[in-house]
Structure formats: structure tokens, C-alpha cells
Amino acid sequence: MQMSELSELIADVREQVLFLQELGVDALDVRLPEAEGERVDSLQMVAEAVVFEKAPPPADIGLPKRPTETVKRGGSRIASLPSLRSRTPVQNNIMPKPTAAKPADEPVKVDAPPEPAGSADTIGSIRAEIGDCTRCKLSQLGRTQIVHTTGNFQADLMFIGEAPGADEDEQGSPFVGRAGKLLTDIIMAMGFQREQVAIGNINRCRPPANRKPEPDETAACRPFILREIAVIKPKVIVVLGATAAHNLLQVSTPISRLRGTFQDYFGVKVMPTFHPAYLLRDPHKKRDVWEDMKKVRDLLES
Ligand code: SF4
């Protein structure tokens, strides 16, 4: 193997390892093949060797830097954070490039017509129209409160999930439970602060026992997130999990086939990927999500 190929490989492994470490994965029980008579016992050993012995410190390899500023969550502090539109791009020239592009599935054709947004819409006017909503039966099935989209409403990057869970229903914000903590880690691993992106759900009320929203419930609530997309005008939407992807894109393709390929949703790039709650059950899928998020990050920086 050429030295340049080896360097690229090490850089790629190092980036993967750093991401997994960001997400709290300390060790993966992955057996690697023997190489030239010397057995490497685990990916963790490779990680330690690459990160701590052979490689320069992470700050020198061009990974996106986390802002050092301490950010308070919530309240007026959010409004003073910069939009992603004005974010200084990370140093593309030294960013390790993926070594092997995975063949992508063809983009899925979206059959649903765009739902028109009122030209006078604002996030505030949409919320006012939602009001104390009883448009679907989820309003009668034990919700504590309606969970609206939060974050930066001028962001280039938006995350959309399926519906609030128990923590979100209690706190009134999307993605604040364990899965939400993991989503925050993913956002930060991409080089952003959570408050720099917009985060919402297709359904705004918690379904009982965390069941999937039913078609009539999604049909009642979906127009609001579509109108918010029209107001926010994100450059990229990351749609989290099969249910959200199917309900947003109006397709039934399995998420395992949808993920990893940008879908064109009437001019907005949509990257379907696994839901953070799924990653909590199957941490090995974090690598797939990181591959998807690298594509999103690269598109935002292009
Ligand atoms: S899920 Fe949406 S449509 Fe149904 S009651 Fe809640 S806010 Fe209204």
C-alpha cells in the first residue's frame, strides 16, 4: 500500500474513531483480520494506536472545531447565536476525504405535490394557528402539551423526527430525552451547536405508549411542519427514522435503503438516516449515521 493511501486510511479511521468517541462509544467488539502475522484484537486497540500513538492531536487534522464559547440553552440566548448561513466553513482543504464512496441508491421519486405555504407565514403565525390544537385525536390521548419546532429558524440545517416522546411531552421541546442527547452529540460532532439548527417533529403531540402516529393524525399535523420548512428554507433536512422519512417524503421505501442518499424534496435536500433512539438500541449503526452526516456537512460547506 502506498504511503499516501495509508495516510488517507489512517485519517479516515481516526475520524470515525473520534466520532464514535464523541458519541460515547468506548469500545466495539469487532474482530479484525490478521495482518502480516500480527493480530489486532479490537477496533478499540486500533483507535488507541491511531489516536494516541501514531497520529497528531485531533486539533491538527482538520476536523470541525467545536466553538469554545459556552452556550446557555433556551431563552433569548438562542436568538443571539449565529445562523449556519453565516458560519465560517471548516477547512475543506485539510478535511480527510472518504476513501471509498458507497454506491448510492437512486433518489426516491416523491409523488406528493408540494403543499403551498402562505406567503405571510411566520413561525409565530403558524404556532398561533395551531393554538390549543384538537385537529386530531392525539389531543385527547394524554398529551401534556404541544411540542413545537425549536432552534434557529434561519438555519441551513433542520432535523425532523416522528413525534414527541415522554420527555419531550413533559418538557415541551423536541429531542430532549436520551435520544435527544444523542442527537445533540451528533450535531456537535458535525461541528455545530444544537441551537444553530432547527429541530422539530412531524406530529407535535405524543402518541400514547409511544406508538407510531396513525395516518389521520399525520395528515392533520404534517401541513404545519411543511409550512415551517417553507419559512425556514433550510438547505438540508435530516429526517430521522423510517416513520418520519415515510411521512415527510410520502414513500414507503425501507429506511435502510433510503438512508445515505439525498432525496430532493421540491428543492430541499433531504437526508434520511436512522433515528437516534434506534442508535441507542443498536450502537453499531452509528457508523452509518456518521457517513450520512458527513455527506450533509460536506453539502453545507460546498
Ligand atoms: S398532533 Fe398536531 S394535529 Fe394532532 S392535535 Fe397535536 S398539534 Fe394538532
**Ligand 1 lined by 139 (C-beta under 6 Å):** yes
For the chain, what is the HEC assignment?
CCHHHHHHHHHHHHHHHHHHHHCCCCCCCCCCCCECCECCCCHHHHHHHHHHHHCCCHHHCCCCCCCCCCCCCCHHHHHHCCCHHHCCCCCHHHCCCCCCCCCCCCCCCCCCCCCCCCCCCCHHHHHHHHCCCCCCHHHHCCCCCCCCCEECCCCCEEEEECCCCHHHHHHCCCCCCHHHHHHHHHHHHCCCCHHHCEEEECCCCCCHHHCCCCHHHHHHHHHHHHHHHHHHCCCEEEEECHHHHHHHHCCCCCHHHHCCCCEEECCEEEEEECCHHHHHHCHHHHHHHHHHHHHHHHHHHC
Structural class in CATH, domain 113-301: alpha beta
Mutate to test the pocket of ligand 1, among 126, 162, 217, 228 (most ligand atoms within 8 A of CB): 217
pLDDT tens-digit profile of 210-233?
899 999 999 999 999 999 999 999
**What's this model's pTM, rounded to 2 decimal places?**
0.68
User: Where along the chain do its domains lie?
Assistant: 3-60, 113-301
pLDDT tens-digit profile of 233-261?
999 999 999 999 999 999 999 999 999 99
Q: How confident is the model at residue 288 (pLDDT cuts 50, 70, 90)?
A: very high
pLDDT tens-digit profile of 25-56?
555 554 544 444 444 344 343 333 333 333 33
**Ligand 1 lined by 138 (C-beta under 6 Å):** yes
Cα 198 to averaged position of ligand 1 atoms, centre (Å) = 19
pLDDT of res. 201: 98
**Ligand 1 lined by 217 (C-beta under 6 Å):** yes
